[in-house]
């Protein structure tokens, strides 16, 4: 089994603790981190813990047994639990975690990417939906500017197999994507983030009314809407090269086909096609696990767009399918990538004080509300994105995988 050497793991941990947490600023002495990982991610988990303690931080540990078909707490619950057990949510416990944490760091690692194979999608959706109150707690504290979160990936044999790569080649993508061979990867990330912020600022300066996404597999209109700004990763995901916003869902029209698989509730969904009319998905299909796609979309407001995103290939060193959204939504390759998330909107794309906005006002502005679902669907096909500006003129903002502004 391939395990990155101590130097690479230390650099990876430094990127997560000294850059990614605290929205790209790194943690402060005395900060508390809720650190989440599975047994298979132990080498990185310990390296990150060491960096947190070295930086003067505290840790709330959430270290779980591996989720596999033969030995999984979640699968055990889904197979043997009643509807009431599957829907159980320990509110005081999770409220306590959110209250105590300044930051959340989640290590994505799938020891068995098909751990939920053979289980009904409806049960998996019910289990995932039970965590909606936890996500709402997090969102409230994040909106108040008192909580940050970030994600990173620890490669496993199961994930490498799914992606059609050797484990060493899989890790090579992680190492390159996270700049871990740089002498100072933390400083490299700050430099790249500044370059991305420059593009983001140019997008914010454009009075965009709508975007037209056109290519062999897309003819789609996205309405940006008023009271919006563009965002970049800013440490929330490692790696993250995307620039995104949460559009006014009501103005999504047309069709798009996605050439990258996605994973929802432990199931691989491939060959996804969506058709929108007045913001709602009116036709959907998939060549693989279409039932899981339909199950997801059937949830309240999961048939509406919560995010539109573009990645510039000049920043991303990811060239291979990685079988995980964190990397696939940041793929560079020949044409960068476009992705749309069905479900919940990111309210931090609102340029004002979010704490003063009522739920009714969010709805009036076209921010989609769907705390149970936010699922990114990705395409790396070539396409051109043209902005219709509020004065009626048009400007190409993205072509051949690169921003043109």
Identify the residue whose tokens are 């707690």. Answer: 137
DSSP SS3 for 307: strand
Q: For CA atoms 198, 204, 207, 212, give the dihedral sign.
A: positive
| Three-state DSSP class for residue 202 | helix
CA–CA gap between residue 113 and residue 124 (Å, rounded): 14
SS3 of residue 370 by DSSP = coil
CA-CA distance, 317 to 313, in Å (whole number)? Answer: 8
Residue 111's alpha-carbon distances to 70, 166, 168, 354, 365, in angstroms, are 11, 15, 15, 38, 41
- Biggest CA–CA distance in the chain, Å, is 60
CA angle 288-212-402, nearest 5°?
80
Backbone φ and ψ for 143, nearest 5 degrees, come out as: -60, -30
- Do residues 137 and 94 make contact, with C-beta atoms less than 8 angstroms apart? yes
Pairwise CA distance, residues 233 & 195, whole Å: 12
pTM: 0.86
How far is the C-alpha of 160 from the C-alpha of 366, rounded, in Å?
39
Residue partners of 97: CB distance under 8 A and separation at least 6: 34, 60
The DSSP symbol for 270 reads B
What are the structure tokens assigned to 102, written together? 């300044």
Taking the C-alpha atoms of residue 304 and residue 329, their distance in angstroms, rounded to an integer, is: 19
d(CA 2, CA 9): 13
Per-residue pLDDT in tens (0 to 9) along the chain, 405 residues: 789 999 999 999 999 999 999 999 999 999 999 999 999 999 999 999 999 999 999 999 999 999 998 888 999 999 999 999 999 999 999 999 999 999 999 999 999 988 888 888 789 888 988 998 999 999 899 988 999 999 999 999 999 999 999 999 999 999 999 999 999 999 999 999 999 999 999 999 999 999 999 999 999 999 999 999 999 988 889 999 999 999 999 999 999 999 999 988 768 899 999 999 999 999 999 999 999 999 999 999 999 999 999 999 999 999 999 999 899 999 998 999 999 999 999 998 999 988 889 999 999 999 999 988 899 999 999 999 999 999 999 999 999 999 999
Q: Where are the domains of the chain?
A: 6-181, 188-403
pLDDT at 267: 81
Q: What pLDDT score does 355 carry? A: 83
Burial of 351 (0-12, 13-18, 19+ CB in 10 A): exposed
Please state the φ and ψ torsions of residue 303, each to the nearest 5 degrees: -100, 20
Q: Are 327 and 153 in contact (CB under 8 A)?
A: yes
DSSP, collapsed to helix, strand or coil, labels residue 328 as helix
- Predicted confidence at residue 1, as pLDDT, reads 79
Q: What is the pLDDT of residue 354?
A: 86
Separation of alpha carbons 357 and 273, rounded Å: 34
340 CB neighbour count, 10 Å cutoff:
25
How far is the C-alpha of 41 from the C-alpha of 136, rounded, in Å?
Answer: 27
CATH of domain 6-181: 3.40.1830.10
């Amino acid at each position: 089994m391939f395990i990155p050497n101590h130097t690479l793991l230390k650099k990876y941990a430094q990127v997560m603790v000294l850059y990614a947490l605290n929205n790209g600023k790194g943690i402060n002495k005395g900060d508390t981190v809720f650190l989440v990982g599975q047994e298979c991610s132990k080498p990185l988990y310990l390296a990150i813990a060491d960096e947190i303690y070295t930086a003067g931080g505290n840790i709330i540990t959430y270290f779980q047994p591996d989720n596999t078909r033969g030995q999984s707490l979640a699968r055990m619950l889904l197979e043997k639990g009643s509807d009431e057990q599957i829907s159980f949510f320990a509110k005081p416990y999770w409220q306590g975690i959110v209250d105590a944490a300044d930051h959340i760091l989640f290590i994505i690692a799938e020891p068995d990417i098909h751990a939920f194979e053979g289980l009904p999608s409806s049960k998996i959706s019910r289990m995932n939906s039970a965590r909606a109150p936890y996500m709402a707690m997090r969102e409230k504290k994040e909106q108040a500017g008192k909580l940050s979160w970030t994600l990173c990936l620890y490669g496993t044999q199961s994930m490498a197999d799914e992606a059609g790569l050797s484990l060493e080649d899989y890790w090579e993508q992680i190492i390159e994507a996270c700049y871990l061979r740089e002498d100072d990867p933390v400083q490299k990330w700050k430099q790249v983030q500044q370059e991305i912020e420059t593009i983001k600022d140019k997008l914010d300066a454009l009075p965009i009314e709508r975007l037209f996404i056109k290519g062999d597999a897309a003819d789609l209109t996205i309405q940006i809407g008023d009271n919006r700004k563009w965002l970049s990763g800013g440490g929330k995901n490692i790696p993250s090269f995307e620039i995104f916003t949460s559009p006014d869902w009501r103005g999504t029209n047309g069709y798009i086909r996605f050439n990258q698989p996605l994973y929802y509730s432990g199931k691989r969904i491939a060959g996804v096609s969506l058709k929108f009319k007045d913001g709602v998905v009116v036709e959907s299909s998939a060549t693989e696990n279409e039932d899981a796609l339909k199950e997801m979309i059937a949830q309240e407001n999961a048939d509406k767009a919560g995010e539109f995103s573009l990645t510039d290939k000049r920043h991303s060193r990811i060239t291979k399918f990685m079988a995980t959204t964190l990397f696939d939504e940041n793929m560079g390759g020949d044409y960068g990538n476009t992705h749309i998330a069905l479900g919940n909107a990111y309210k931090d794309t609102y340029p004002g004080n979010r704490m003063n906005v009522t739920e009714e006002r969010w709805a009036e502005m076209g921010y989609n509300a769907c705390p149970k679902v936010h699922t990114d669907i990705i395409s790396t096909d070539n396409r051109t994105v043209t902005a219709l500006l509020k004065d009626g003129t048009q400007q190409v903002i993205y072509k051949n995988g690169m921003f043109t502004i």
